[in-house]
Amino acid sequence: MMKTNWDRILHGGDYNPDQWIKTKEIWDEDMRMMRLAHINSATVGIFSWSMLEPEEGVYHFDWLDEIMDKLYQNGVSVVLSTPSGARPAWLAQKYPQVLRVGENGVRNEFGIRHNHCLTSPVYREKVRNINRRLAERYHKHPALQLWHVSNEYCGECHCALCQQAFRDWLRKEYGSLDTLNDAWWNGFWSHQITDWSQIHSPKERGEPLVTALRLSWKRFVSDSHLSFFQNEIAPLREWTPEIPVTTNFMKMYDGIDYNKFERYVDIVSWDNYPEWGTGDTAQVAAETAFVHDAFRSMRGGQPFLMMESTPSSINWRDVNKLPQPGMQELSAMQAIAHGSDSVQYFQWRKSRGSHEKYHGAVVDHCGHEHTRVFQEVAHTGAVLERLSAVAGVGYKSRVAVLYDWENDWAIKAFCGFNNQKRDYFGECVKWYKPFYKRGVSVDVVSMEDDFEGYDLIAAPVLYMLKPGTEEKIAAYVRNGGVFVGTYLTGMVDRNDLCFLGGVPAGVLKEVFGVWHEDTDALPADRPGQAVFNGKTYAVRDLCDLIHATDAQVLGAYTQDFYAGTPALTMHHYGQGQAVYAAFCGDDVFADDVCAMLMQQHGIDPDTRIESGDVCVRKRGDYIFVLNFTEKTQHVRLDKTYTDVLTQQHCCGDILLEPCCYRILTAP
């Protein structure tokens, strides 16, 4: 039986003992300090290929044997990594085809990481081979709990092999050149293709503008990562069918359709690097919460793993501010509250040299445990040991925000209206926040997910519709759902072909009871205005000019030649309701609309705790109260709770300082 939860919260992270192989006394220090820090999981071998196979066909596993045994003896389980993220120099030198070719047609030299061709049969074979050897050797090792496949799959290759693979992929996708020419609207600028070999990946010095080509390339690259992954895991499945596999995702990284990829991993995991300490911390917390919710929702509410996070600062932004004391622990608790079964760091011990030597780590160059960061991590570990009851507990919400990778690609690709300001992720977070900040849990779903069971779905800027989406939305609303759409809803199909006959597409005109005739773009220094419920709102970046054919007009523009026309509408359709928010507003606009809908439809917070600006999130029996604001906050408890960490009862008003949290259970 495959086990994807471990009856405890995993606490650990990237561990690179191979960097310290010549000072093995450090390994023993690591074991001692891991016990102090309540570490129970170590991710090993991510970039170890050249240590494992220093020459072609020559394998050195003894160091890994030793470290696996040591970890096991110290109560630390292993997340064992496959090393394909970075290859040995000998491999690149002997088989140059494994290296990536850039958009400019030039093959990269050996260096960095994530620098491999996704198609190269040689690389795939070499990866399968080293993975097989790892699986063969460790399949019975008692420390092995999970496979970490490669590292943060990303990027693309433009070599001749990839061009050919792209053409083969297109042939399967479209069947004939005639269909492709129609779908890509190739009559434009004399772009008719008469032979598959005329097609190339999109690039500046070639064809960067045909949006359907760009979307196809995105899909192809995403699928290439997936087939690369399937090649990687074949030997793991063969030798360790009971050990789950994952690969670490990155936020809403737009190079891979994670909604599709997640179906092939046994547990979803992601690397979390919020930009604490710069700008608005509460906003960063909301964005991070959204991403956690997206990864939890992918598996119908099942827990995910936070595979990496920094225990301190990072080193790769322009200015790498140290997070405030307590922020690491607060951020860890946020992950748990939103469904993570782990808190893991990059990395355990700071590298001594090279590129990441100043990246935060649990153990600093000073080498001992008497540092603020180490003590904070150790404290977090001790807290997590008291939270093992939440491990494995998932949850679903009554409200969802629709975020879809392919829609993101389509929004980024088109040319028109406002080419400066288009922020799909930002818009999704904007419509997520009104629920999140009131303590209403939210799922993040894609167009393919089941809509049933949600009382309300907000689908900001649902510009592209996959086949069947209009009918799916119509059925959802007809059956009683509340659906919130915004400007640019239902404009194009999956090939970025505009829908004819008026938008939003097809039956959506009936669902919303509106017809969208035009779109205006607003320069940043000349916002427009709209009024709803007697309150004036700024209209920013983009706004649709719509006709309310059947809908009730709730708000109207007050400026420009379209003053007096609808800016916000609501329509009863079947048993449900569809709201059209025709413009991009500030947060307050989304907040007021959602507050109205929550009230009308009885969408209540998950608890009755009055928390103001403090976030409250319930997971199983545990209520997490998290203060991401920069002020001390009052929280009013509606009844007596038990504080999980102190085991004290608490009631009435509690004070929560910045970066502080409470975990409560109801008696």
Indicate the residue among 154 and 193 with the shorter CB distance to ligand GAL.
154
- Per rule CB under 6 A, is residue 151 in the interface with ligand GAL? yes
Indicate the residue among 85 and 555 with the shorter CB distance to ligand GAL.
85
Residue 14, H or E segment: strand 10-15
Indicate the residue among 120 and 312 with the shorter CB distance to ligand GAL.
312
> In the complex, what is the shortest distance from the CB of residue 299 to ligand GAL, in angstroms, rounded to a whole number?
22
> In the complex, what is the shortest distance from the CB of residue 317 to ligand GAL, in angstroms, rounded to a whole number?
10
Indicate the residue among 314 and 457 with the shorter CB distance to ligand GAL.
314
Centroid of chain to Cα 77: 26
Rounding to the nearest 10 degrees, give the CA dihedral for residues 216, 217, 218, 224.
110
Q: Which of residues 315-374 bind ligand GAL (CB under 6 A)?
A: 346, 356, 359
> In the complex, what is the shortest distance from the CB of residue 359 to ligand GAL, in angstroms, rounded to a whole number?
5
Indicate the residue among 356 and 560 with the shorter CB distance to ligand GAL.
356
Of 455, 402, 427, the residue nearest 599 (C-alpha): 455
Among 18, 30, 152, 443, binds ligand GAL (CB under 6 A): 152
Residue 625, H or E segment: strand 622-626
Q: Is 152 a catalytic residue?
A: yes
User: What are 616's strand-pairing partners?
Assistant: 625
603: left (phi over 0), alpha (psi -120 to 50) or beta: beta
Q: Which two tokens stand for residue 625?
A: 């109260």
> In the complex, what is the shortest distance from the CB of residue 346 to ligand GAL, in angstroms, rounded to a whole number?
4
Residue nearest to ligand GAL (CB): 346
Greatest alpha-carbon span in the chain: 76
> In the complex, what is the shortest distance from the CB of residue 531 to ligand GAL, in angstroms, rounded to a whole number?
45
Q: Which of residues 268-287 bind ligand GAL (CB under 6 A)?
A: 271, 273
> In the complex, what is the shortest distance from the CB of residue 315 to ligand GAL, in angstroms, rounded to a whole number?
7
Q: Is 308 a catalytic residue?
A: yes
The angle that helices 405-413 and 211-239 make with each other, rounded to 10 degrees, is 150
- Classified as helix, coil or strand, 152 is coil
> In the complex, what is the shortest distance from the CB of residue 347 to ligand GAL, in angstroms, rounded to a whole number?
7
How far is Cα 211 from Cα 208, in angstroms, rounded to an integer? 8
Residue 488's CB is within 10 A of a number of other CB atoms, namely 27
Centroid of chain to Cα 454: 21
459: left (phi over 0), alpha (psi -120 to 50) or beta: beta
Among 10, 286, 314, 399, binds ligand GAL (CB under 6 A): 314
Q: Which two tokens stand for residue 427?
A: 């818009």
How far is Cα 298 from Cα 403, in angstroms, rounded to an integer? 11
Indicate the residue among 113 and 601 with the shorter CB distance to ligand GAL.
113
Q: State the DSSP string of 353-414.
A: SSTTTTS--SB-TT-SS-SHHHHHHHHHHHHHHTTGGGTT-----SEEEE--HHHHHHHHH-
> In the complex, what is the shortest distance from the CB of residue 225 to ligand GAL, in angstroms, rounded to a whole number?
15
How far is Cα 538 from Cα 522, in angstroms, rounded to an integer? 11
Centroid of chain to Cα 617: 19
Rounding to the nearest 10 degrees, give the CA dihedral for residues 396, 400, 151, 19.
-70
Residue count at the site for ligand GAL (CB under 6 A)?
9
Indicate the residue among 20 and 185 with the shorter CB distance to ligand GAL.
20
> In the complex, what is the shortest distance from the CB of residue 153 to ligand GAL, in angstroms, rounded to a whole number?
11
How far is Cα 304 from Cα 75, in angstroms, rounded to an integer? 22
How far is Cα 339 from Cα 397, in angstroms, rounded to an integer? 12
| Burial class of 288 by CB neighbour count within 10 A (0 to 12, 13 to 18, 19+) | buried
> In the complex, what is the shortest distance from the CB of residue 151 to ligand GAL, in angstroms, rounded to a whole number?
5
| Catalytic position from the list 53, 152, 406, 470 | 152
| Catalytic position from the list 156, 262, 287, 308 | 308
How far is Cα 338 from Cα 336, in angstroms, rounded to an integer? 5
How far is Cα 411 from Cα 420, in angstroms, rounded to an integer? 12
Residue 84's CB is within 10 A of a number of other CB atoms, namely 27
The angle that helices 211-239 and 160-174 make with each other, rounded to 10 degrees, is 100
Single-letter amino acid code for the residue at 303: P
Indicate the residue among 274 and 555 with the shorter CB distance to ligand GAL.
274
> In the complex, what is the shortest distance from the CB of residue 310 to ligand GAL, in angstroms, rounded to a whole number?
6
Indicate the residue among 120 and 344 with the shorter CB distance to ligand GAL.
344
Q: What share of the chain is helix, strand, coil (3-state, %, to 5)?
A: 35, 20, 45
Indicate the residue among 271 and 592 with the shorter CB distance to ligand GAL.
271
Indicate the residue among 274 and 566 with the shorter CB distance to ligand GAL.
274
How far is Cα 134 from Cα 131, in angstroms, rounded to an integer? 5
Q: Which two tokens stand for residue 16?
A: 């690179």
* Contact residues for ligand GAL, defined by CB under 6 A: 151-152, 271, 273, 308, 314, 346, 356, 359
Active site residues: 152, 308
